[in-house]
A and B are shown apart, each in its own frame.
Chain A
C-alpha cells in the first residue's frame, strides 16, 4: 500500500491555514505512519461494529457490550501493531514527534475507534433498537445505509491520509445509489428503521443525506481528536462547512460588521436563522419590520417632508419655541444616532452611512433643507439597488447640486467642480483614464441639470441652460441636441466602467472586510458588479458570504471602531432603552471624537482606515466618554446590573456575586459575545480591587467602563 507522507501534511495545512508548520522528514514519517494505522483502527472497528449489527439481527446480544468489549476484542491485534508503530516511528527519540498533528497512540486509537462505532450507532441506534427490522427488505435497506456510511467514513479518512483507496466522491455516490435501490422496496416508514439524528428522515433522499452528514461529522470529530486538530464546531456539528454552528467570534464579527454591534434582537435573529439566512434577511431590509424605531422617528417630522414643506415648517427665522431651519439638520443627526442604536435594519443603516460618505455633501445653513431629502431620496432607497440608479439620483439631487455647484452649471457659465469630483471620486477615479478635456466635457454634458423644489426629487432639466453642441467625452460621441439624455448616457457609461466597479468593490471591502482588500475577493466582488450591471445587493452578497469575511480570523477585530459605531455599540451592549437616549448628547460626543455627522467638509467623506481614527488625543476622549456613558451621565442610560441584584442581559439573567473576579466575569458575559483576553480581564479585576470593596457605589459602572475601554471593545 503506497503512502504519501504529504497527505498528512496537507491535512494539517488545511487545518492550520495561517500557521507555518515547519516539519522535518522524521516527523512527516511519524504522521504518515500514524494516519495509516489510524485508518486500520477505523477499518477494524467498523468491521466489529457491523458484526454487532449482524449479531443483533440474529438476536441475543447486548448491544452496549458488543460495541464495547466486543469491538475492543476485534481491535486487539491492530492496537498492538499501532503501539509498535508509535514506538518505532514517533516515540523512539524526541525528534520524531511533530509539534502538532499527533498526540499519542492511545488518543489516536480511541478517537478512530469511537468514530467508527459512532457512525453505526448514529445510523441504527446506540442500543440497536431498530434491529432486527420487520422485514427482509427492511433489513437490506438498513444494511445498505449502515455499510455505505461506514464506507464513506473510511474513504474520508483515507483521503485525509493521502492514501490510495476509495475516493470520497465515489463512496458518497454509492451510499446514495445503494440506499435508493435497497430502500425503495421497503414498506415500513423509513423513520422507524433508523435512529438518524436529522430532522427529516421520510424519504430515501433524506436518509442518504443524513447518513452522509453522520459520516462526515464523525470523521471531522474523530480525525480531529485523533490528530489533535482544532476542528471548528461548524464542521463537527453536521460535518459540513455550512455555518450550522456559529462560534461566538463569528457572531460578534457578523453583528459588528453588518451593524453597530450585538443587541438582543439581532443576536436572537442571527441564532435563529444562522449566518447565511441572517445575511440574506439584512440584504432585504424591506422585509424587516422596524416599528419601534419608526414610532420614535415620528417625532422628527422633517425626515419625511417634501422640499417646499420644509421651508414652510422650518423657516429660516429664529422664533423661540418654534422649529427653524437649523432643526432639520438636528433631526437628521438625531435620527442617525437613533437608527444606529435601535434599528433592526442594521445593514441598511451602515450602507446608508457608507454611500452618503462616498457621495459626501456638507450641511451648511443654506443646505440644511437639502441634506435630509438627499439621504431619504437619493441615498437610502438605492443602497441595495443598482449603482447606476444611485448615481443618477445623487446627480439630480439639490443637495449635491448645491454642494458641488452643479445646479449653477450652465452653457455659457461652466462650473467644473462637480464634473471633476464625479470622475475623480464618485466613479472611475484618478487612474480611470480621464483627461482635463473630459472634465470640461462632462461639465458641458450636465449643463441645465438644476434644482426645482416643487418637483418630487427637487430636480428639473432646464433646456435653456443646456449646451446643445455635440460632445466627446471618455470616448463617447454625443451628437448635438442630446438634451437630458446625454447625462443619462454618460451616467450609464460611468456606472458600467470597470474602474468604477473596482473602486466600488474596493471601498466596500475596506468597510466590511479588511483595510487591505484580499485580491481574490476584490476580483470576485468586481466581477459580481460587472456581471450584474452594477447590482449592489449582488456585490454585497458576494462580499458578505465570502470565506474572507466569514472564515478568516485575520479579518476579525481588524478595524478600529469609528466614533458613531463605538457609541452605538456601547448603547447596544448595555441595553440602553432607546426612549431614554439623549440623542443630541450622543451626537455631540461622536463629533468630539472626530465624526461630525453630516459635517465632513470634503467631498471624499471620512476615510475608512483605522489609522485615521486613532490619535493619541482620541484615545483619551474615548476613555472619558465611555466612562460617562457607563454611569449613565451622558445621554446613554445603560442597563447594567446593579451592584446587587439581577437584570436581563444579552445572554440571559445574571446575578452578581461580590468578589472582583465574579463581578468582572459577570460583566464580561454581559458586554461581550466573544472571549476577551486574559490581559483585559486581569485589568478589570485589578481595577475593581483598586476601586473599592463590594457595595461601593459605582463599582459596577466604573468596572464596566474599564472593560468597555479595553481594546476588544474599541475594535471590530
Chain B
C-alpha cells in the first residue's frame, strides 16, 4: 500500500518520532492534514535595527560606520560565513541550526517614508505609500478564508492590530485569563447582558459596543475551553505571556488562523547597547519557548517577525541610530527550509554609494513578497486571492524569498 503522510503518522509508534522527522522532511506540507496552518504576525515596533541583529561580520564598513555601537567583532554568533547573530539573540541559534528559523535581510518597504506611524500602517495594510486602503492584510485574507468566524483572527492586545482590522470580524484581548465574566451572579448577568448587546442602537457608538459585546459572548465559551497548561518556560514579559497564550490557542485547534502580537521598544535613537538588551533577549527567549511549546504544531505554525523600517547605517551622536530603510525580517516554523540568511542578490556592501540615499540599507526584498509567499505556500491562498490581499502589487513567485526551498 502506498504510504501516505497520514498513514505514516498514524502508524508511527512514537509521537516523538514524527516530531523528529517532520522538520527534517522540511519542504512542503510538513504538517499533518488535520492541523490547520496558522500565521503569527509579530510586529517589532519602532524600527528594529536589522544591521545589529543579523550582523554582516564580513563587511568592514559595518565596523567603520558604527565605531561605538557595532556588535564587537568576534562576539557575534556564526550564522554562515558572512553573517553573524547578535549574541543577545543566542536562544534563537538552536532553532536556526535545526532549520526552523530563517532571516531575510535587506527586507522592507519600497516607500521612502521614515515616519513610524505611516510605515507601520503601510506595512500592516500591505499598501506602501497608499493611504486609501484602511483594512489590514490579514483581515483581507480572513475575509476570504476565515469562514467569517471572529475566532479566526486574534490580536493579543487590548485593541485590534491594524493588520486585522477590516470587514472580517476578529477578536482582541490581552490575555486568555481575563476573557471571561467574573464576580457575582455571573450566569444571570451573562444571560441579560448577552441579550442586551445583541442589538444596540444607542447613539452612533452603540453599534461598536454591540458588535464587540456579541463577539465577546460568542467567543467566551470557546476560549474558556482552551487548555493553558504548558511545560515550556516563557519569560514573564508581555511578549512571553502573549506567545504563551498564542501557543495555547494554536494547540487547542479551535479554528484560529491568524494571531497578531507586538513587541515595542525598538526605536533606538540613543544607547543602542542598553536598549537592545531590553528587547532582543526577550524576543529570542520568547520565540524559542513558543517554538518548543508548539511541539507538533510547530510545522503548521509560521511566525513572521517584521518591523516598519531598519535603521541608518552610521551611528549618530548619541550612541544610537536614526530611522532608516532596509532591515531584517524573521521566519520561524511553518516547515520552512531554515538555517539561512535569505538575501536577494549579493550583499551590496555598506559604502555610501551602495546605500539608499547614501545613508540607509537598500531594500532588495519587498516585504509583500514575504507576505505573498507565506500566504501562498503556508496558508494556501490562490494567486487570485493574493492579488486582492496585496493590492497594486505584481505577484511574481520568482521574487519570493524562497523560504521553503
Contacts and interface: CB of A to CB of B under 8 A. Distances in A.
B318 A686 contact: no
Nearest to B317: A413
A337 interface: no
B117 A604 contact: yes
A397 B116 CA distance: 23
Contacts of A659: none
Nearest to B185: A702
B316 interface: yes
A705 B318 CA distance: 53
Interface stretch (B53-61, B94-102, B204-212): B204-212
Contact of A680 (B172, B196, B317): B196
Given A417-B322, A616-B172, A702-B189, A554 B209 contact: no
B215 interface: yes
Contacts of A436: 114
A711 B210 CA distance: 8
A628 B184 CA distance: 9
A492 interface: no
Interface in A673-716: 677, 679-680, 683-684, 686-687, 690-691, 698, 702, 705-706, 709-712, 714-715
A192 interface: no
Given A620-B216, A706-B193, A413 B181 contact: no
A712 B202 CA distance: 6
A323 interface: no
B197 to A, nearest CB: 7
Contacts of B317: 408-410, 412-415
B316 A615 contact: no
A188 to B, nearest CB: 55
B192 interface: yes
Interface string B303-321: 0000000000000111010
A189 B40 CA distance: 85
Given A420-B114, A683-B196, A624 B172 contact: no
A557 B201 CA distance: 10
Nearest to A410: B317
A321 interface: no
Contacts of B265: 601
A614 B200 CA distance: 14
Given A405-B318, A623-B189, A616 B150 contact: yes
A619 interface: yes
A417 to B, nearest CB: 4
A459 interface: no
A61 interface: no
A618 B173 CA distance: 7
Interface string A78-116: 000000000000000000000000000000000000000
B25 interface: no
A268 B94 CA distance: 68
Contacts of A714: 209
Nearest to B174: A617
Nearest to B265: A601
Interface string B197-240: 10111111110111111011001100000000000000000000
A686 B193 CA distance: 10
B158 A558 contact: no
A617 B157 CA distance: 9
Contact of B189 (A405, A627, A677): A627
B206 A715 contact: yes
B173 A616 contact: yes
Interface residues of A, number: 62
Interface in B30-76: 45
Nearest to A443: B322
Is chain A's binding surface mostly helix, strand, loop or mixed?
A: helix
Contacts of B208: 560, 610-611, 614
A712 B196 CA distance: 11
B195 A617 contact: no
A467 to B, nearest CB: 12
Given A617-B173, A620-B216, A711-B210, A691 B270 contact: no
B182 interface: yes
A551 B171 CA distance: 36
A34 to B, nearest CB: 34
Contacts of A615: 155, 158-160, 171-173, 212
Contacts of A579: none
A698 B184 contact: yes
Interface string A552-590: 001011111000000000000000000000000000000
Nearest to B269: A417
B216 A413 contact: no
- Most chain B CB neighbours (cut-off 10 Å) among A408, A409, A592, A617: A617
A42 interface: no
Given A560-B205, A611-B208, A415 B269 contact: yes
A614 B209 contact: yes
Nearest to B191: A690
B189 A616 contact: no
Given A430-B118, A691-B185, A559 B318 contact: no
A446 interface: no
Contacts of B209: 560, 614, 619, 711, 714-715
A702 B184 contact: yes
A617 B269 contact: no
A638 to B, nearest CB: 15
Contacts of A679: 196, 199
B158 A618 contact: yes
Contact of A415 (B192, B212, B318): B318
B69 to A, nearest CB: 13
A623 B172 contact: no
A210 interface: no
Contacts of B345: none
B81 interface: no
A442 B178 CA distance: 46
A418 B117 CA distance: 15
A621 interface: yes
A602 interface: yes
Interface string B101-141: 00000000000011111100000000000000000000000
A612 interface: yes
Interface string A162-178: 00000000000000000
Interface in B353-389: none
A627 B182 CA distance: 9
A408 B191 contact: no
A593 interface: yes
B309 to A, nearest CB: 13
B201 A677 contact: yes
B212 A614 contact: yes
Contacts of A405: 269-270, 318, 320
Contact of A620 (B200, B204, B220, B270): B220
Contact of A594 (B158, B191, B192, B264): B158
4 smallest CB-CB distances across A and B, nearest first, come from A413-B317, A617-B173, A557-B203, A615-B172
Given A415-B317, A715-B206, 4 more contacts: A410-B317, A430-B118, A616-B150, A712-B202
25 contacts: A405-B269, A413-B318, A416-B322, A554-B204, A557-B204, A558-B205, A594-B158, A594-B174, A602-B45, A615-B172, A616-B150, A616-B212, A618-B158, A618-B173, A619-B209, A619-B213, A619-B215, A620-B181, A627-B182, A628-B183, A702-B185, A706-B189, A711-B206, A715-B202, A715-B209
Interface of B: 45, 113-118, 150, 155, 158-160, 165, 171-174, 178-185, 188-189, 191-193, 195-197, 199-206, 208-213, 215-216, 219-220, 264-265, 267, 269-270, 316-318, 320, 322-323
